[in-house]
Amino acid sequence: MKFINVSILTSVLAMLAVAKGGADDAAIASPDSAVVKLTADTFGSFIKENPLVLAEFFAPWCGHCKSLGPKFSAAADKLVEKDIKLAQIDCTQERDLCADYGIRGYPTLKVFRGTTNSSDYLGQREEESIISYMTKQSLPSVSAIEDSADLLDTFAELSEPVILQVLPPDFKPAANETFYSLADELRNEFSFVSTSNPEYVEKYTSKKSTPAYVVFRPGEKTEDASLFKGDTIDKATLESFIGVETKPLFGEISGATFQSYMESKLPLAYFFWDDESQKEAVSDAIIKLAKKFRGEINFVGLEAKKYGMHAKNLNMKEEFPLFVIHDLEGNFKYGISQDKALNYADIPKFVEEFKAGKALPIVKSEPIPEVQDEAVYHLVGYEHDKVVQQKKDVLVEYYAPWCGHCKRLAPTYEELAALYKNDSDANEKVVIAKIDHTANDVSGIEITGYPTIFLYPADGSKPISYEGQRSLEALANFIQEKGSTGVDALKIRDAKAAEPEAEESTETNNGAHDEL
């Protein structure tokens, strides 16, 4: 007898239901609901006349839109009393308006606050989620709390980080404006509180005119809160402080939190565990390290049963528990040797060695080819820096074997390489190379998609990302204009193409001379 995984079966059934859908009018809000139908003619004035609007950009034939339609209508009816408006824009009828907002898929939900500038809706597409999310959007981005008991209650049981602004008697209004501006932008991620409570002023502020900023994190004691200690308070500095300090000392990393850690650019230290007891055994030691290196290294736990395959991306074997640090800036990985079982006592020492620059990175690389007999240079991790630092213009394509765009580029790229390779002078000045980024580590550049192409000029200046068309002519012009050797591959190509014509012309002339 065969069995099927229930969750897989549920997903399949859900997809089938969306695909099948119902009539196209299921995506369109009921005429009796509070949902407002907008067109290009009515959109601008409606948005400006209403302080808070959730707009759905949709297509009537879209299965997901049909699923959302009734829920969207029901939410709209319940939000009327809160003066929150829900609206629909049919992108099959209002193509230009949808294009103006970069709509690429359906449904797309955007939040408007009295202007045509918008932010993405980040909640779930369920009636209650829409109501909850938009209700929160309608509240002030900053809660002003003065009572000591109310403040204690706010910090007692946190579900998300809280950023507290403490205003001394002679605070500068500009700092307050900065705080409110940040709160408007980050309100979906954190809670913001402002107070002039004398007890908090005495505890956290050191200057009569300078506000204090404190971050409280879920699951931590209030005495472990982080106090901003910078001399300059501006939006960028305060945002950076919040980005660092809202991370838990030893947090769980998942699909929902991964991107925020990547964006921080701080080295990320992973502890992979496949048993809860392993995590508990190392927790105190890692929290102690996290406190010491707060703002320098982020520490996270990763459940190997769910995310164990990520170990390969960090150049580690899938043998758990393990500890590894990913230097995001240089894309280097540093791991405790897996030749023997992990000794938890080695973790603090290893982190100290990493900070002191004494740890050695684990380099993932294909073997260095014994022969380079192709026009395109086969680059690997071990020799990447050596090759791109030559006194030549070096164009490198970072690709993935499975990438369709890379496969389509290959013939053009090989033809381009041959132009330089087959000309003795150009061959001494230009290298066309490619590297399988999935099998080789590279440092100093950020690869976010394939193919990614960089030019490393011969004069040693900063590598230049190529963003143009993937044609031979465009690539050749890029190398000539942005490189430092000035080689004109198209001129070489045209000269070679003209050679047979010159020979034929000479033969014809010689024949005519003999005739005479």
Residues labelled catalytic: 62, 65, 403, 406
Q: How many CB atoms lie within 10 A of CB 84?
A: 23
Q: Return the sign of the alpha-carbon dihedral for residues 342, 345, 347, 353.
A: negative
Q: Are 474 and 416 in contact (CB under 8 A)?
A: no
**Which amino acid type is present at position 260?**
S
The answer to whether the CB of 296 falls within 8 A of the CB of 355 is yes
The answer to whether the Cα torsion of 501, 503, 506, 512 is positive or negative is negative
Please, where are the H alpha helices in 226-356? 235-245, 258-264, 276-292, 304-307, 310-313, 346-355
Closest listed residue to residue 241, CA positions, set 270, 266, 220, 208: 266
Nearest to 326 by CA among 371, 271, 391: 271
Q: What is the DSSP string of 467-487?
A: -S--SHHHHHHHHHHHSSS--
Q: Compute the distance between CA of residue 453 and CA of residue 396 in angstroms, rounded to an integer.
A: 6
Measured CA distances, 265 to 53, 83, 424, 479, 510 (Å)? 34, 41, 43, 31, 71
CA 346, CA 339: separation in Å to the nearest integer? 14
Going from the C-alpha of 328 to that of each of 123, 268, 323, 334, 396, the distances in angstroms are 29, 7, 16, 11, 21
| Omega within 30 of 0 (cis) for the link into 218 | no
Which residues partner with 273 through β-bridges?
Answer: 303
Which DSSP state fits 369? P
CA–CA separation, 262 vs 266, rounded Å? 8
* Cα Rg of the chain, angstroms: 30
How long, in residues, is the chain?
Answer: 516
Beta-bridge partner residues of 87: 36, 55
Rounded to the nearest 10 degrees, the angle between the axes of helix 6-20 and helix 63-79 is 90
The token pair that represents 54 in the structure block:
């959730």
Rounded to a whole number, what is the distance in angstroms from the first to the last CA of the chain?
A: 95
Contact 326, 354 (CB under 8 A): no
